[in-house]
């Protein structure tokens, strides 16, 4: 009977911890603010810049060039068509133009702080 009580306490505690976890998971692509907000593109993608080789020959080069020119790394939620500013954009640098799974926490202004990031 004691082990059943301990199991119930463990399940209850686990439920409480899971219910208070403020993190979200987003599947998307690491892009840059210049292309995402149509500063250099007309459709929120790297396609036009790649065609002209203006900012790179592929999406990764375009993303990195735009960041070097003052843009910021951003997460584009390709499932819900949503953009996330990143509180710690340096965490995204190795994933430029890659499809990723990001776990993070949103602040009151909707800025995402990356907890974990990995390629998809």
DSSP label at residue 38: T
Greatest CA span in the chain, whole angstroms? 72
State the residue range of the domain holding 115.
22-119
For residue 64, is it within any domain? Answer: yes
Taking residues 60-84, report their average pLDDT.
Answer: 95
Distance (Å, whole) CA 86 – CA 51: 28
Taking residues 110-118, report their average pLDDT.
Answer: 98
Residue 1 lies in a domain: no
Helix (H) or strand (E) holding 8: helix 2-19
In a domain, 11, yes or no: no
> Is 15 within the bounds of a domain?
no
> Which pLDDT score, from 0 to 100, does residue 17 have?
53
Q: Is residue 2 part of a domain?
A: no
Degrees (nearest 5) of the Cα angle 36, 41, 44? 35
- 108 within some domain: yes
pLDDT given for residue 94 in this prediction: 98
pLDDT at res. 78: 87
pLDDT per residue over 3-46, tens digit each? 666 655 555 565 555 568 899 999 999 999 998 888 877 777 78
pLDDT for res 11: 58
Tally of structural domains, the chain: 1
Q: pLDDT for 30-40, tens place per residue?
A: 999 998 888 87
- Domain assignment present for 52: yes
3-class DSSP state of 93 = helix
């Amino acid at each position: 009977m004691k082990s059943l009580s301990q199991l119930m306490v463990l399940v209850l505690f686990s439920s409480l911890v899971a219910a208070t976890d403020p993190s979200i998971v987003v599947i998307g692509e690491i892009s840059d603010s210049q292309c995402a907000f149509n500063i250099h593109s007309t459709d929120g993608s790297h396609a036009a810049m790649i065609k002209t080789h203006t900012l790179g020959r592929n999406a990764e080069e375009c993303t990195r060039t735009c960041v070097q020119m003052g843009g910021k790394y951003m997460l584009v939620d390709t499932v819900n068509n949503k953009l996330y500013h990143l509180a710690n954009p340096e965490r995204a640098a190795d994933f430029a133009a890659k499809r990723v799974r990001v776990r993070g926490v949103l602040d009151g202004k909707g800025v995402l702080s990356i907890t974990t990031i990995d390629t998809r």
